[in-house]
A and B are shown apart, each in its own frame.
Chain A
Amino acid sequence: MVDFIDGAENVSVHGIFNWILLLAIFSIITVVGNYIGYKHPIADSLVGMAMLSLITLCGVWMERELPFNISSIIYISVIGIVLAFPSMPTSGVLLHYVSQVELLSIVTVFLAYVGIGMGKSWNEFKSLGWRAIIVTVLVIASTYLGSAVVAHIILVMTGVPV
């Protein structure tokens, strides 16, 4: 009986419950920040966050339940892109509410969790020394600039107006 209770189905139901609660907490914090920072109406941005959370939940669920080795990030991107297609019946409602949530409001909350989460790596970071820091800074800067410069050249070559 114990094995049965601890079985896979129960864990996944339990998991979904946890995901929903976490996403609800995240949504509430984001909406508060969104209201303070950008003065978007609370009710509309809550609906927007609920929609984004639902897309996330679908993607996360599909990653675990479907038999393909595909990251949830890709599922979420595809669902979001398809639902927002200009010709889709869902796009009007979705865009209205989602546009009430500023990207930067989401990012601000997200990075607070990132900051707390990166605390664990602090000691390892301190032990790495200045050489590793120099190389890392160079890697990030050259990757970013390489990407920007190539993109710029191709954009200019294909005649995209600024």
Chain B
Amino acid sequence: MCWAGEGIISNNDNETKEIQHIYRNKTDKRILKKNPWKDYGLHLSVLLLVIIAELIGPIEINLTKGVTVSIMPLLYTMVLGLIFYLAKPIKWIQRKQSRVAEGAMMLFIGVLIAKLAVSSGQSIHLIFEMGPALILQELGHLATIFIALPVALLLGFKRETIGMTNSIGREPEVAVVVDKYGFNSPESRGIFALFIVGTIIGTVFISFLTSICVSVLPLHPYAFAMASGVGSASMNAASLGPTLAAFPSLETSIEAFAGFSNLLSFSIGIYIVIFIALPLTEKLYGFLEPKIGKKDVVNQQGGK
């Protein structure tokens, strides 16, 4: 069964306890042992993608009156990057480069976080004033359990549901679930599926979602900023794009909240998953499964 991203498998075979160490292992494996900067083809391709993307610039599409979707250069580079990998004629971007890119990306998250942290430090008074909202919005993440879990059951998932719907399913949450249920459990299969689909479509999806939400929902600009920190660093970034574009005068405070919200997701978010989200998901599963559960779609098809 080739279920998970190989990164997760290779790092978690035996050691699933070291929750935070997934990033570190991946980065070290690919950066310490090889000389990733020697991959000229990779870095020159990125440079090319960035130049193309910045030259095109952001595009705004009016869906209907008042609903605008903005497509940022950050989406072009990501999608073009994927196309570069998949396109057969581009021989200098292969699996090896993809691994190097992934390792390098783990390091580059740091630069992104550092930029957000500088904005947070600059606006530290705002962070203290908005403390309650920042912390309590972490509990808003639990909404996924009540909305996605029933749908997953109706679609015919069984215990996979528990892994799939307890949280947004990025690296820290994957580690928690694998640690609790074991690598070959249906719960882990569920969160691996969520992880992989989220990796491919999550960033693009959250960017469009944010774009639509900021133009339709009359929520506080800071609320959008805080919500952008729900997922991985790349999701955070993709969600920040349209938010910054919609409220240009609040740039520094929006970056500050996003940075802090991401920091919170990283530090206390894991404990919310362990102590609140997973038990709650189990309870709701136990309650709803006998009522609306369908035939087991996973075992029936021998996969999904």
Contacts and interface: CB of A to CB of B under 8 A. Distances in A.
Interface residues of B, number: 143
Nearest to A110: B108
B71 interface: no
B46 A138 contact: no
A122 interface: yes
A64 B121 CA distance: 24
Interface in A3-53: 11-12, 14-15, 18-19, 21-27, 29-30, 32-33, 36-37, 49, 52-53
Contacts of A86: 122, 124
Interface in B81-125: 81-86, 93, 95, 97-99, 101-102, 104-105, 107-122, 124
Contacts of B274: none
Contacts of A112: 46, 49-50, 53, 77-78, 80-81
Contacts of B177: none
A98 B85 contact: no
Nearest to B147: A142
Nearest to A57: B110
Contacts of B228: 144
Contact of B20 (A71, A76, A133): A71
Most buried by A among B23, B82, B138, B229: B82
B140 interface: yes
Interface in B38-94: 42-43, 45-47, 49-51, 53-55, 57, 72-75, 77-86, 93
A129 B230 CA distance: 25
Contacts of A125: 196-197, 199-200
A77 B120 contact: yes
B284 interface: no
Interface string A91-134: 10011001001011111111111111111111111011101111
Interface string A43-86: 00000010011011101100110000111111011111111111
Contact of B98 (A29, A76, A120, A140): A120
Given A33-B54, A115-B79, A81 B85 contact: no
A84 B93 contact: no
Given A69-B21, A107-B112, A116-B81, 7 more contacts: A117-B98, A133-B197, A136-B197, A143-B230, A146-B143, A148-B219, A156-B220
Interface of A: 11-12, 14-15, 18-19, 21-27, 29-30, 32-33, 36-37, 49, 52-53, 55-57, 59-60, 63-64, 69-74, 76-86, 91, 94-95, 98, 101, 103-125, 127-129, 131-152, 154-156, 158, 160, 162
Interface of B: 2-6, 18, 20-21, 23-24, 27-28, 31-32, 35-37, 42-43, 45-47, 49-51, 53-55, 57, 72-75, 77-86, 93, 95, 97-99, 101-102, 104-105, 107-122, 124, 129-130, 132-134, 136-144, 146-148, 151-152, 155-157, 164-165, 167-169, 193-194, 196-203, 205-206, 209-210, 213, 217, 219-224, 226-231, 233-235, 237-241, 244, 255, 259, 261-263, 266-267, 297, 303-304
**Pairs of residues from A and B, 4 with the lowest C-beta to C-beta distance, nearest first:** A115-B81, A80-B117, A146-B143, A119-B85
